[in-house]
Amino acid sequence: MEQGSDDTSKSHYSFGDNRLAALRLEFLAATFAPSSRRFLQSTRPGRVTRALDLGSGIGATTALVRDVTNAPSVAGYERSGNFLAIARRRYPELTFREIDVLSPAYPDREADLIYCRFLLTHIHRPADVLTTSVQHLRSGGRLLLEETAALFSPVPALSRYYDLVEQLQAHHGQETLIGKRLGALAAGVAGAHATSALKEVPMAAAVMARLHAMNLATWKSDPFMLETHGLRTLEDLEGELKAIGASADFPEGRCLMAQVCIERI
């Protein structure tokens, strides 16, 4: 999945799509499901016949959209063949399409709801995704977005991890904390009305450390990370994160989530 960050290429995904990456997505989905469910419940349109989930991964968020909306037609868009295979096996009643969200057109039109969580942070042209998505909504349909605006932890190893992921994503033209400007991006979408809020989600240090350690396993073969930091540094941080993940003695941190609703006029 090694791709550049120029305007014509696909976005680079730095967290991998192997078995370990799929397990990470499973943990991530369980961690954020309660806050995402509340967001969906409070912002969904009154009638949802067709819903889309962009960057659907292993299908957990697609199933969440289905459960909250009871939409008869729900489709997940994902470009990873490995993740699609898992999603189709786990949720055979749902539709999953192999689609890059930077495509100028989606096969599903007149959607009532389009949802994406932790997607735009991996996209080097996030405004294009917003514009295309709104164009595929019916009048009154809503695009619902969740992205990280800030990460706080008093645990030094976690703070060092946050620095590394920001460096890696910046190298590929992406923003780890794109939630900081998500409201402004949404406000710039033509033919739509946007509202935004910031929600604080407490995060147990052990939970976050387990998630992040899985990314370190992938980064140990990433050319940029190896050249910039070296294998020893990555292995040391991975070991620290695994130790934190196995303990309940570390203070919790916080994730500040930007939750944005864009309604097509």
53 domain residue, yes or no? yes
Rounded average pLDDT over 131-146: 97
Q: Report the CATH number at residue 91.
A: 3.40.50.150
Distances (CA, A) of 74 to 51, 101, 118, 128, 169: 5, 16, 19, 22, 30
Digit-coded pLDDT (tens) for 168-223: 999 999 999 999 999 999 999 999 999 999 999 999 999 999 999 999 999 999 99
Rounded average pLDDT over 120-128: 95
Digit-coded pLDDT (tens) for 17-47: 999 999 999 999 999 999 999 999 999 999 9
164 domain residue, yes or no? no
36 domain residue, yes or no? yes
Backbone angles phi, psi at 169, to 5 degrees: -70, -35
Residue-range definition of the domain harbouring residue 46: 19-151+174-203+252-264
How many Å apart are CA 79 and CA 221, to the nearest integer?
21
230 domain residue, yes or no? no
β-strand pairing of 73-78 with 50-54? parallel
Residue the block writes with tokens 């919790």: 252
Query: How far is residue 226 CA from its own chain's centroid?
Result: 24
Digit-coded pLDDT (tens) for 217-232: 999 999 999 999 999 9
Residue the block writes with tokens 């400007």: 181
214 domain residue, yes or no? no
What pTM was estimated for this model as a whole? Answer: 0.94
Q: What percentage of the chain has pLDDT greater than the value 70?
A: 97
Contact between 120 and 58 (Cβ < 8 Å) = no
40 domain residue, yes or no? yes
Instruction: Place 3 in a pLDDT band, splitting at 50, 70 and 90.
Output: very low
The average confidence (pLDDT) of the chain is 94
128 domain residue, yes or no? yes
Residue 2's pLDDT is: 31
What would the 3-class secondary structure string for the chain be? CCCCCCCCCCCCCCCCCCHHHHHHHHHHHHHHHHHHHHHHHHHCCCCCCEEEEECCCCCHHHHHHHHHHCCCEEEEEECCHHHHHHHHHHCCCCEEEECCCCCCCCCCCCEEEEEEECCHHHCCCHHHHHHHHHHCEEEEEEEEEEEEEEEECCCHHHHHHHHHHHHHHHHCCCCCCHHHHHHHHHHCCCCEEEEEEEEEEEECHHHHHHHHHHHHHHHCCCHHHHHHHCHHHHHHHHHHHHHHHCCCCCCCEEEEEEEEEEEEC
Residue 213's pLDDT is: 95
Contact between 208 and 240 (Cβ < 8 Å) = no
Query: Taking Cα atoms as reference points, which of 17, 98, 117, 15 lies closest to residue 60?
Result: 117
102 domain residue, yes or no? yes
The domain total for the chain is: 1
